[in-house]
Amino acid sequence: MSRQSLLRPLVGLIMAAAVLGGSPAGVFLRLLFLSVLVGAFMSMLGLTPGRLFWHVYDSARALVEVGLASLHDFGGWIVAGAIVVVPLWLIARLFAVSR
Protein backbone atom coordinates (compact mmCIF):
# COMPACT_ATOMS: atom_id res chain seq x y z
CA MET A 1 0.00 0.00 0.00
CA SER A 2 1.17 3.48 -0.71
CA ARG A 3 1.64 6.11 1.93
CA GLN A 4 -1.20 8.24 0.55
CA SER A 5 -3.73 5.44 0.73
CA LEU A 6 -2.78 4.86 4.38
CA LEU A 7 -3.14 8.54 5.30
CA ARG A 8 -6.43 9.13 3.46
CA PRO A 9 -8.73 7.78 6.28
CA LEU A 10 -6.73 9.71 8.87
CA VAL A 11 -7.11 12.95 6.91
CA GLY A 12 -10.85 12.27 6.67
CA LEU A 13 -11.13 11.89 10.45
CA ILE A 14 -9.11 15.07 11.04
CA MET A 15 -11.33 17.00 8.61
CA ALA A 16 -14.48 15.61 10.26
CA ALA A 17 -13.16 16.61 13.69
CA ALA A 18 -12.37 20.11 12.42
CA VAL A 19 -15.82 20.55 10.90
CA LEU A 20 -17.73 19.04 13.83
CA GLY A 21 -15.65 20.61 16.58
CA GLY A 22 -14.27 17.35 17.96
CA SER A 23 -14.37 13.64 17.34
CA PRO A 24 -17.65 12.43 15.80
CA ALA A 25 -18.41 10.19 18.80
CA GLY A 26 -17.73 13.00 21.28
CA VAL A 27 -19.90 15.43 19.35
CA PHE A 28 -22.68 12.84 19.17
CA LEU A 29 -22.59 12.28 22.94
CA ARG A 30 -22.62 16.02 23.68
CA LEU A 31 -25.56 16.58 21.33
CA LEU A 32 -27.42 13.64 22.87
CA PHE A 33 -26.87 15.01 26.39
CA LEU A 34 -27.98 18.53 25.42
CA SER A 35 -31.02 17.13 23.62
CA VAL A 36 -32.10 15.29 26.77
CA LEU A 37 -31.64 18.45 28.89
CA VAL A 38 -33.54 20.70 26.47
CA GLY A 39 -36.27 18.08 26.01
CA ALA A 40 -36.76 17.77 29.78
CA PHE A 41 -36.86 21.56 30.17
CA MET A 42 -39.42 21.91 27.36
CA SER A 43 -41.50 19.14 28.91
CA MET A 44 -41.52 20.95 32.27
CA LEU A 45 -42.78 24.08 30.51
CA GLY A 46 -45.42 22.13 28.60
CA LEU A 47 -43.86 22.91 25.22
CA THR A 48 -43.93 20.46 22.38
CA PRO A 49 -42.01 20.72 19.11
CA GLY A 50 -45.32 21.29 17.29
CA ARG A 51 -46.35 24.15 19.57
CA LEU A 52 -42.91 25.69 19.29
CA PHE A 53 -43.01 25.47 15.49
CA TRP A 54 -46.47 27.06 15.28
CA HIS A 55 -45.49 29.81 17.71
CA VAL A 56 -42.45 30.68 15.57
CA TYR A 57 -44.58 30.45 12.42
CA ASP A 58 -47.30 32.73 13.82
CA SER A 59 -44.72 35.24 15.06
CA ALA A 60 -42.98 35.36 11.68
CA ARG A 61 -46.30 35.74 9.89
CA ALA A 62 -47.32 38.63 12.18
CA LEU A 63 -43.99 40.36 11.50
CA VAL A 64 -44.47 39.99 7.75
CA GLU A 65 -48.00 41.39 7.97
CA VAL A 66 -46.79 44.41 9.96
CA GLY A 67 -43.98 44.95 7.44
CA LEU A 68 -46.35 44.73 4.49
CA ALA A 69 -48.79 47.14 6.17
CA SER A 70 -45.92 49.60 6.59
CA LEU A 71 -45.00 49.21 2.91
CA HIS A 72 -48.65 49.76 2.00
CA ASP A 73 -48.68 53.03 3.97
CA PHE A 74 -45.38 54.06 2.39
CA GLY A 75 -46.77 53.32 -1.07
CA GLY A 76 -49.77 55.55 -0.28
CA TRP A 77 -47.42 58.37 0.64
CA ILE A 78 -45.57 57.95 -2.65
CA VAL A 79 -48.78 58.08 -4.68
CA ALA A 80 -50.12 61.10 -2.75
CA GLY A 81 -46.85 62.96 -3.20
CA ALA A 82 -46.58 62.00 -6.87
CA ILE A 83 -50.05 63.45 -7.57
CA VAL A 84 -48.68 66.86 -6.56
CA VAL A 85 -44.99 66.62 -7.52
CA VAL A 86 -45.20 65.12 -11.03
CA PRO A 87 -47.58 67.74 -12.50
CA LEU A 88 -45.51 70.55 -10.95
CA TRP A 89 -42.34 69.01 -12.39
CA LEU A 90 -43.96 68.72 -15.84
CA ILE A 91 -45.06 72.36 -15.73
CA ALA A 92 -41.57 73.44 -14.66
CA ARG A 93 -40.02 71.41 -17.51
CA LEU A 94 -42.44 72.95 -20.03
CA PHE A 95 -41.53 76.50 -18.90
CA ALA A 96 -37.80 75.61 -18.96
CA VAL A 97 -38.04 74.34 -22.57
CA SER A 98 -39.84 77.49 -23.78
CA ARG A 99 -36.96 79.76 -22.62
Provide the mean pLDDT of the chain.
83
Q: Is the pLDDT of residue 16 over 90?
A: no
pLDDT computed for residue 36 by the predictor: 93
The pLDDT confidence band at residue 69, using thresholds 50, 70 and 90, is: confident
The mean pLDDT value for 3-11 works out to 64
Does the global pTM surpass 0.95? no
Distance CA 54, CA 51 (A): 5
24, 16 Cβ separation under 8 angstroms: yes
Q: Which residue has the higher pLDDT, 51 or 68?
A: 51
The mean pLDDT value for 69-90 works out to 87
20, 27 Cβ separation under 8 angstroms: yes
Q: What's the chain's length in residues? A: 99
